[in-house]
Amino acid sequence: MANTGSSISAPLKRAAGAVQAAPRDGFATGLGVLTATLGSAVGLGNIWKFPFLTGANGGAAFLIVYLISTLLVGLPVMISELTMGRTARADAITTLQKLSPSRKPWWLIGAIGALSAFMILAFYTEVAGWVFAYIFKSLSAAALSTNPEVTSQAFSGLVTDPVQSLVWQWIVLGLVGFIIILGVSKGIENTTKRLMPVLFLLLVAVCVRSLTLPGAAKGLEFLLKPDFSKVTGLTMLTAMGLAFFKLSIGMGTMITYGSYFREDQNIPITATRVMLADLSVSLLAGMAIFPAVFAFGFEPSAGPSLLFITIPAVFASMPLGHFFMVIFFILAAIAATGAMLSLFEVPVAYMSERLGMSRRTATLLTMALLVLFGSAAALSNSVLADFKVLGMTMFDLYDFTTSNIFLPVGGIFICLFVGWVWGMDQVKKSLSNNGILKNEGIARLFLFLVRFVSPVLILLVLLQGLNIL
């Protein structure tokens, strides 16, 4: 794959690091860069959000808007962030401070990003908690029934129980915190290197099962045959928000990961690979889910509970369903873990590098803050079910404001920064690894997009979706 020389340079690099005083941690191998970045992109976004949003917004038409957003907006912003991070070699806030002209408040993008990290993690760790819980529930068959009413009751039993909700969230926080404390190369890189291939294999297995069911073709048709009458302003905003969420952009995750990239990493190519692999995982997840949903006559538009109510009923209806359901939730748990690692890394990098905390203290503090922030999401189906802001529970509010407002706004400013403030020569220099890569054409196309196309598109979709235009 990416770097054949990496196996030689990695041990050398680590050995060199050991003798220097406090070297900055980073991804040691080209493969590690790819699995960690892909690990960030692939997550509950693919396995939970993508299927339910596609199901609820009319299938293929939504998919097309999502694809356009990914290409014209997602990829340019991702390349921007990775390049900025690698140039500054610092956490998201410091990166913007380092690269921008003095006394300009561009660092605020990083600050809002850190806030977004907490808000996303607050609900993300909860959904991840359900996923982990479901691995065990599928083992015990408590949630496995062909009747969606029974599976629905099993799911409400979990989410309306405040103790179970909180405890599963804490288990997830503990696991992610443990890996983060191990460090960037020993924790994040090692974990994603081992788990990402497993995830792919498991997903393909479930997909083959689903596609070979009688009646599967209808599900494929739903995913591939567009009906544009379903596309509204809010649909477009939702699709674009999903593109941001999926690629982990708009809030500093990719800036932070970019700062751990190797000097010789080809950023435009890496970003494109990650985008394509992430898209493949989403499509595979769609092909694992919708054909089975249709084959057994369930509703595709079940919303957020699709994964926990419809899917178990679907599994219960098929031969070997019990086994496949365990596999399915294990793969979802793996996907969620890689993504949460990247979200955690944003505040942890800032606190440990800028505020002088040890990595351990920074991680423990992040975990403590999340116990606080996260409980509002965890309890939003039980004790806090009636506590609503702007008509949304805290869970929905965290999700809606980050995906549909903070990430797109962050994206606009990142484009403006790279396109208009940072300097064209500097951008070309960074994208070409100081002139070593001959990618002048790509750099020009990239600059055209981030200067004129992406920010305008994001703004239009944002205003349309929020009913302002």
Instruction: Extract the runs of DSSP E, i.e. beta strands, from 240-357.
Output: none
Interface region with ligand TRP, contact rule CB under 6 A, candidates 71-79, 82-90, 240-248, 322-330 = 240-248
Three-class SS of residue 183? coil
Q: How far is residue 272 from each of residues 240, 263, 278, 411, 451, measured CA to CA in Å?
A: 18, 18, 10, 17, 19
CA distance 327 to 183: 28
Are residues 120 and 402 in contact, defined by beta-carbon separation less than 8 angstroms? yes
Is 243 among the residues that bind ligand TRP (CB under 6 A)? no
| Count of residues touching ligand TRP (by CB under 6 A) | 16
- Please say which residue, 96 or 443, places its beta carbon nearer to ligand TRP: 96
Interface region with ligand TRP, contact rule CB under 6 A, candidates 22-30, 153-161, 245-253, 455-463 = 245-253
CA distance 247 to 173: 22
Find the binder of ligand TRP among 10, 77, 166, 251 (CB under 6 A). Answer: 251
Interface region with ligand TRP, contact rule CB under 6 A, candidates 40-48, 73-81, 161-169, 418-426 = 40-48
Tokens of 406: 């903070």
Is 37 among the residues that bind ligand TRP (CB under 6 A)? no
Closest CB 330 distance from ligand TRP, rounded Å: 16
- Please say which residue, 247 or 313, places its beta carbon nearer to ligand TRP: 247
Q: What is the x/- site pattern for ligand TRP, positions 104-143, by CB under 6 A?
A: ----------------x-----------------------
CA 265 to chain centre: 21
Roughly what angle, to the nearest 10 degrees, separates helices 394-401 and 359-378?
120
Interface region with ligand TRP, contact rule CB under 6 A, candidates 6-14, 81-89, 153-161, 241-249 = 241-249
Are residues 348 and 160 in contact, defined by beta-carbon separation less than 8 angstroms? no
336: left (phi over 0), alpha (psi -120 to 50) or beta: alpha
Tokens of 320: 């070997």
Find the binder of ligand TRP among 32, 39, 45, 411 (CB under 6 A). Answer: 45
CA distance 59 to 51: 9
What lies within 8 Å, CB to CB, of 61 at 6+ separation is 226, 227, 228, 230, 231, 235
Is 408 among the residues that bind ligand TRP (CB under 6 A)? no
HEC letters along 98-121:
HHCCCCCCCHHHHHHHHHHHHHHH
Interface region with ligand TRP, contact rule CB under 6 A, candidates 41-49, 53-61, 222-230, 303-311 = 41-49
Closest CB 172 distance from ligand TRP, rounded Å: 13
- Please say which residue, 43 or 268, places its beta carbon nearer to ligand TRP: 43
- Residue among 179, 197, 174 nearest 335 (CA): 197
Closest CB 294 distance from ligand TRP, rounded Å: 24
| Residue with the CB atom nearest ligand TRP in the bound state | 45
Closest CB 343 distance from ligand TRP, rounded Å: 5
Interface region with ligand TRP, contact rule CB under 6 A, candidates 79-87, 154-162, 186-194, 246-254 = 246-254
Is 40 among the residues that bind ligand TRP (CB under 6 A)? yes
**Tally: H helices and E strands in the chain:** 23, 0
Roughly what angle, to the nearest 10 degrees, separates helices 107-140 and 148-159?
130
What lies within 8 Å, CB to CB, of 356 at 6+ separation is none
Is 248 among the residues that bind ligand TRP (CB under 6 A)? yes
Interface region with ligand TRP, contact rule CB under 6 A, candidates 18-26, 71-79, 242-250, 461-469 = 242-250
Count the Cβ atoms, other than its own, within 10 Å of residue 18.
8
**Interacting positions 326-365 with ligand TRP (CB under 6 A):** 339, 342-343
Closest CB 342 distance from ligand TRP, rounded Å: 5
Find the binder of ligand TRP among 86, 137, 209, 246 (CB under 6 A). Answer: 246
- Please say which residue, 246 or 359, places its beta carbon nearer to ligand TRP: 246
Is 253 among the residues that bind ligand TRP (CB under 6 A)? yes
Closest CB 248 distance from ligand TRP, rounded Å: 3
Count the Cβ atoms, other than its own, within 10 Å of residue 280.
14
Give contact residues for ligand TRP (rule: CB under 6 A): 40-41, 43-46, 120, 245-246, 248, 251, 253, 339, 342-343, 407
